[in-house]
Amino acid sequence: MPRGPAQAEVRRMDPVVAVLIVAGVALLLALVCMVAFLKSRSVRSELTETPLATRRMAEATQVEVPETVPLPAAGAQSEPESEPMRRFQVASGKEIKQCLFVILDWPGLDTNRRLARLLKEYNANYDAKLGVYKIRDPLAGYKLTIANSSPPGTLPPIHEGDDQPIVSGVSILIHFVSKRSVARNPETLIDITQSIAAIGGHILDAERNTVSEEEFEQLRQHAQNSKAVTHGRGTPHEGG
């Protein structure tokens, strides 16, 4: 008989315990949601800062103008640009740079090694002052600058060994004066960009929109059409 009231008291406390358990679970879920929100906010903040870093890096590289590419005259009118080329532009002051990003999905030591091997295959030279890799293709007639996709835009010398910081992505810059060369010979730009993406990443344009294989194909088709038009204009002149 003395145990009867105690058991009744335990039964009366059961709802209280249940409420406390539910409240604890709710608090835990709230903390998980808050952590996820703060993490996504941090990622968005980094993506917002990246174009600024890219513009600064482009401004730093624009001081070196290739001697073989003449600057357009002040009064000369530039050729109208096609939509495929306009897609890969980023404004920086009065200049325009062709720009693409490759963001690695799972950056780590392995991707650092593979990226270093790829840059070596393309005979990329590391500029220690600017913290970028430069690739020059004499046949294409333009130079590519490979920078870091994350602020402040500088890449570590990953070709020196495994003790370098992990690279999470790269930006590919081309100076304004090389614009026509890229439009006529886009293969170097496309090959390097897709080769880096093949390491394990996705390609974005200057506005951080995904670039598909079909859009690269449009760039190739535009180059072929431009060459066909140029040859077509030259044939009557030579025949006359």
> Which two tokens mark 29?
């879920």
pLDDT of 55 > 60? The answer is no
Query: pTM of the predicted model, to two decimals?
Result: 0.60
**How much of the chain exceeds pLDDT 90, in percent?**
32
User: Residue 79's pLDDT band (boundaries 50, 70, 90)?
Assistant: very low
At 168-182, the pLDDT tens digits run 999 998 775 556 677
More confident residue, 184 or 42: 184
Q: Which CATH architecture has domain 53-66+82-238?
A: 2-Layer Sandwich (3.30)
Contact 131, 153 (CB under 8 A): yes
Domain residue limits, the chain: 53-66+82-238
Indicate the Cα dihedral angle 181, 182, 187, 193, nearest 10°: 150
Q: Phi and psi dihedrals of 90, rounded to 5?
A: -135, 130
pLDDT tens figures, 150-160: 888 999 999 99
